[in-house]
């Protein structure tokens, strides 16, 4: 697997200690395990918004207004004085169609960066957020929602291709996380209610290559949502992914993933988002078959 520059600058925010492990939020350990068979759902609990807690982590809710371009984040962490924090638009951090927002109330506090995208048809959205780590911990997580009416096909295959964007707990030098990018391909089988895919061409925005992530086969439930396991290509289990389909005949899909460890280092976590149009619909990717 690709090695990454993990510890250098990992905890440069005020009070950080660059030699200690970052755990998620309140001290959760890293994911992992080994893959087997064709995958299957990860199970577990969901939060009040219906997002699996393994994906939501510290995020309780994210509200995005695409017209006003405002982002409000409710997070069980140290991001802001208000429970529902209004993040600041930061276009300099936009990434492949995902809009960036950040917040840092003072230089002594954590700096959080959020990435969000709504589908061109206004059917679904997804967002991830994290800080760069401070005092041996980071806070972050993901969120997705269906915005408009939805109908799911009862049969047939479909492909969804588009960009991926994430935040990774490698400090960017200002206390915030670095960002990651890539391409997501999802294949859905609506006859058998299954979905799988991969995140390819993955890298940090600084140019550090990262491994392909395999989104293993998992079931689509009757509401059009799914939850499955993430592996590296060598079958090493490294996390979870999930999301939902939206629009007429599932014209779009949105979701998030969480990965840990990265490059064999359990101190590094990545939260990524994808919002993809269905191939054969308006606005589909040029790489669609």
The CATH number covering residue 186 comes to 2.40.160.90
Structural domain count, the chain: 1
| Domain annotation covers residue 58 | yes
Helix (H, G, I), strand (E, B) or coil at 72: strand
Report if residue 1 sits inside a domain.
no
Tokens of 262: 């990265």
Q: Which domain holds residue 261?
A: 23-277
Contact 59, 142 (CB under 8 A): yes
Nearest to 160 by CA among 189, 184, 140, 133: 184
> Which burial class, exposed, middle or buried, applies to 38 when counting CB atoms under 10 A from its CB (0-12, 13-18, 19+)?
exposed
**What pLDDT shows up at residue 234?**
96
Between these two residues, 139 and 11, which has the higher pLDDT value?
139
Please state, in angstroms and rounded to a whole number, the distance separating the CA atoms of residues 4 and 27: 23
Is 182 contained in some domain?
yes
8-state DSSP, 155? S
Residue 124 included in any domain: yes
pTM, to two decimals: 0.88
Core vs surface per residue 198-212: b (16+ CB within 10 A) or e: bbeebebeeebebbb
**pLDDT at residue 34 above 70?**
no
Domain presence at residue 37: yes
- Place 136 in a pLDDT band, splitting at 50, 70 and 90: confident
The verdict on residue 284 lying in a domain is: no
Number of other residues whose CB lies within 10 A of the CB of residue 105: 13
For the ranges 2-6, 25-29, 163-167, 255-259, the lowest mean pLDDT is seen at 2-6
* 128 three-state secondary structure: strand
Residue 5 lies in a domain: no
Q: What is the dihedral of CA 121, 149, 225, 277, to 10 degrees?
A: -20
Write down the pLDDT at residue 134: 87
Residue 41 lies in a domain: yes
Average pLDDT over the chain, rounded to an integer: 87
**Tokens 């395990």 — which residue?**
33
């Amino acid at each position: 697997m690709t090695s990454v520059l993990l510890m250098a600058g990992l905890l440069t925010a005020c009070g950080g200690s660059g030699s200690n492990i970052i755990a998620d939020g309140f001290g959760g350990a890293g994911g992992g395990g080994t893959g087997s068979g064709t995958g299957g759902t990860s199970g577990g609990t969901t939060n009040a918004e219906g997002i699996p807690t393994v994906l939501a982590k510290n995020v309780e809710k994210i509200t995005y207004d695409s017209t006003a371009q405002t982002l409000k984040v409710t997070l069980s962490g140290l991001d802001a004085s208000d429970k529902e924090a209004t993040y600041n638009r930061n276009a300099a951090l936009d990434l492949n169609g995902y809009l960036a927002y950040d917040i840092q109330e003072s230089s002594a506090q954590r700096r959080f960066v959020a990435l969000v995208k709504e589908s061109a048809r206004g059917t679904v959205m997804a967002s991830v957020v994290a800080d760069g780590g401070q005092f041996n911990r980071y806070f972050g997580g993901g969120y997705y929602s269906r915005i408009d009416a939805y109908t799911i096909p009862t049969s047939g295959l479909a492909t969804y291709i588009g960009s991926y964007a994430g935040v990774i707990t490698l400090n960017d030098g200002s206390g915030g996380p670095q960002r990651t990018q890539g391409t997501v391909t999802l294949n859905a089988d609506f006859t058998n209610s299954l979905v799988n895919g991969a995140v390819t061409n993955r890298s940090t925005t600084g140019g550090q290559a990262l491994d392909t992530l395999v989104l293993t086969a998992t079931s689509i439930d009757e509401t059009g949502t799914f939850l499955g396991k993430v592996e590296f290509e060598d079958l090493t289990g490294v996390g979870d992914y999930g999301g939902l389909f939206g629009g007429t005949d599932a014209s779009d899909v949105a979701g998030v993933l969480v990965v840990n460890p990265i490059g064999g280092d359990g101190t590094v976590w990545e939260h990524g988002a994808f919002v993809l149009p269905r191939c054969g619909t308006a606005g589909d990717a040029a790489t669609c078959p």
